[in-house]
Structure 1
Amino acid sequence: MAGWSCLVTGAGGFLGQWIVRFLLEEKELQEVRALDKVFRPEVQEEFSSPQHKGKLTVLQGDILDKQCLRRACQGVSVVIHTAAVIDPGEALPRETVMNINLKGTQLLLEACAQANVRAFIYTSSIEVAGPNSYSEAVRNGREEDNHESRWASAYPYSKRLAEKAVLAADGWALAGSGTLHTCALRPMYIYGEGSPLLHADVTRALENDGLLHYNTKRSVANPVYVGNVAWAHILASRALRDPEQAPRVRGQFYYISDDTPHQSYGDFSYALGREWGLRLDSRARLPVALQYWLAFLLELASFLLRPLCRFRPPFTRHLVTLSNSVFTFSYEKAQRDLGYEPPFRWEEAKQKTVQWVGSVVEQHREAGKAKTG
């Protein structure tokens, strides 16, 4: 357990930053390597703080660069792989998403085997489990239920295949000696300060007279706070390095949630934004079934037009299903195997996120004044 080091991919991202902060507090940890393709100026400034000197090494590189990955993994004990393209709206070319999410993971696993990395934790996604149908409710699902996404959309498909590759790599022989130990974490919809998806929701609402997008009332999700997801990664890194814990964790995946109230995405955004004047759009919407079949027609049009032009549907069947399903999961297995207990309770997580939403609203208003001025 002593004298270990850790590489975090996607370290400049929303979740990656939190994982790095927690790692820097770990005893016996000699070095944290923070790898990302691009670091925003504020993240670069935080990571360059004098208090981190000697313990935090910032690396810029591409997850598809084999040489970069080999150098980054050299001498490392644990890899936490969070780097990914999150693209539920299918805005990016499929090849881009598949390359980064799947091929990048495969290349990183190979680099770990060559560099004798002992433990690999993969940040998976709830979307590898579904939902597959808006008419089928899943409440407090568990790992043993074997839910699996059937969508061919690039994001859930690439994450599902990448997770399978990671779990199948458990037990790989390392180039020197020993074997690779792996596990995967499947967080729910992650929220908190800096959330890119929540930022997009708030910005879109501010551009629409403060009206938040509204989903059907029957949809239910269980969002999870980013600090709790990051903490689960720390516990997984401890477990895979512990000879007593590792046997029951190796090759396993875990759902990660917390005590955030289960509700629709629209109601959740409203709970975080109403203090700043955001409100739900109460105008009548098309029934979900009609939205679904309209999405099918739009996807068909996109396919037929592909030889002539790239038409991107404004929404897809996958997105309609994701936004309008009852799909919640228990973290009991993570509690049992990893000792996971969310360090941030709902009220604290809500307060921190609401304050951040307020800063987003203020920045948007100031930008508006500057334009009109």
Structure 2
Amino acid sequence: MSLGSDVCVVTGACGFLGQRLIRLILQEEKVAEIRLLDKTIKAQLLQSLNECRGDTKLNVFEGDIRDADFLRRACRGASLVFHLASIIDVINAVDPNEMHAVNVKGTQLLLEACIQENVASFIYTSTIEVMGPNPEGEPIFKGDEDTVYKSSLKFAYSKTKKEAEDRTLQANGEVLHSGGRLATCALRPMYIYGEGCQFLLGHMVDGLRNREVLYRTSLPEAKVNPVYVGNVAAAHLQAARSLKDPQKRNEVGGKFYFVSDDTPHVSYSDFNHVLMSPLGFHIQDKLMVPLRFFYIICFIWEMACMMLRPFCRVVPPINRQLLTMLNTPFSFSYQKAKRELGYTPKYSWQEARKNTVEWLADQLPKEREKLWRK
């Protein structure tokens, strides 16, 4: 089912995934209009998109996701919303109230704007972290949407994303002002990598500081299955097509789907090495300290930061929950998305790795120069 002459709103349009999704829509669909919604939108992005937009209109909406009037203006006359915008934080550096306001309240306001402005379809970008891992580090091997798991979410990020996801799915079937009904679904990607991934870039910079040796923070047996950004974008587009299809709309609406691909299952640390070894990087053989002592160090850091909180906000570089995430086997299948959405990875592992390594290779001399100047 083609999106045809749809008017699409993409929140978080300037983000890592947002840019990739917009390019894919322009490549594969002749939509009437794409509305880029973000706090600020750089002229360079618009210029690069203009080169491939064809007859599709690109309109900029700069503003705050917490502004209800702004969201109504952005949604007026639209038929489809891709809601990608959120605060991402895995070290608890962001104030929890700020995160809740953006991730939860912003999502609720956007859903309300869709209902008021008769937007038919709403796709929410969730995350694997709404599933866990839990503080006990209980593993999941090739889980699916029916996997039962005691999440016990601790991160403000994972809690707010789960609440926003729940609100999105609960809004499925809400009556629009026109009398139609809103259809919603949520996608839960694994850890997303690819060109533009700032997490990968940060690990590479840390490795440069450590004489081209990557730090090991994950045990080799703690295998996960990262997903390439191009395939996540493809899953979003396929979800939009499914929600537009009258025969699939009721089947897909109100559901969440895990999004992965055929990237090999490895630990987070070893995955960094897989991508950076062609650039001359090595990796530590073992954790810097045994895992049990690593937890003790994190606990001491956390307590010290808590004691300093009345005077200043200090955030430890790693905490116990993040350490658990990095050292828990946690992998999921994309088979339900394949069956119900028609999703299949657009890019093979070989293509994804090649594209990512080439991007990292392009960034390497720039990051070397930055460090040299310091």
Shorter-normalised TM range = over 0.9
- Is contact 2:66–2:109 with CA below 8 Å preserved after alignment? yes
Change (3 A) 1:359 1:37: same
Superposition pairs for residues 224-303 of structure 1, below 5 Å? 224-282=227-285, 285-303=288-306
Separation in structure 1 between the aligned mates of residue 180 and residue 115 of structure 2, nearest angstrom = 10
Paired residue secondary structure (1:350): helix
> How far off its partner does 1:177 sit?
1.3
> How far off its partner does 1:138 sit?
0.7
One-letter amino acid of the counterpart of residue 175, structure 2: A
> Structure 1 runs of 4+ off > 6 angstroms?
none
Separation in structure 1 between the aligned mates of residue 234 and residue 162 of structure 2, nearest angstrom = 23
Instruction: Give the gaps of 5 or more residues in structure 2.
Output: none
- Is contact 2:135–2:152 with CA below 8 Å preserved after alignment? no
Which of 200, 205, 219 matches 1:216? 219
CA RMSD for the aligned pairs? 1.9
Q: Which moved more, 1:244-253 or 1:287-296?
A: 287-296
One-letter amino acid of the counterpart of residue 168, structure 1: Q
Separation in structure 2 between the aligned mates of residue 49 and residue 216 of structure 1, nearest angstrom = 45
Superposition pairs for residues 86-235 of structure 1, below 5 Å? 86-133=88-135, 135-147=137-149, 149-214=151-216, 215-235=218-238
One-letter amino acid of the counterpart of residue 99, structure 2: V
- Is contact 1:11–1:35 with CA below 8 Å preserved after alignment? yes
Separation in structure 1 between the aligned mates of residue 166 and residue 307 of structure 2, nearest angstrom = 32
Paired residue secondary structure (1:161): helix
Aligned equivalent of 2:74: 72
- Is contact 1:134–1:326 with CA below 8 Å preserved after alignment? no
Separation in structure 2 between the aligned mates of residue 191 and residue 160 of structure 1, nearest angstrom = 21
Change (3 A) 1:100 1:148: farther
Separation in structure 1 between the aligned mates of residue 286 and residue 255 of structure 2, nearest angstrom = 44
> How far off its partner does 1:38 sit?
2.1
User: What whole-Å deviation, never above 9, does each CA across 1:145-198 have from its counterpart, x for those lacking one?
Assistant: 143632232111110111011001111111121111000000000000001111
Q: Which moved more, 1:66-75 or 1:143-152?
A: 143-152
Change (3 A) 1:39 1:208: farther
One-letter amino acid of the counterpart of residue 101, structure 2: N
Instruction: Give the gaps of 5 or more residues in structure 1.
Output: none
Paired residue secondary structure (2:27): coil
User: What whole-Å deviation, never above 9, does each CA across 1:235-291 have from its counterpart, x for those lacking one?
Assistant: 000111111011110100000000000001111111111121211123652222332
Q: Which moved more, 1:111-120 or 1:30-39?
A: 30-39
Aligned equivalent of 2:22: 20
Paired residue secondary structure (1:296): helix
Separation in structure 2 between the aligned mates of residue 81 and residue 326 of structure 1, nearest angstrom = 29
Paired residue secondary structure (1:315): coil
- Is contact 1:80–1:122 with CA below 8 Å preserved after alignment? yes
Change (3 A) 1:153 1:66: same
Aligned equivalent of 2:364: 361
- Is contact 2:219–2:287 with CA below 8 Å preserved after alignment? no
TM-score, length of structure 1 as denominator length: 0.94
> How far off its partner does 1:364 sit?
1.5
| Matched-pair identity in % | 44
One-letter amino acid of the counterpart of residue 360, structure 1: Q
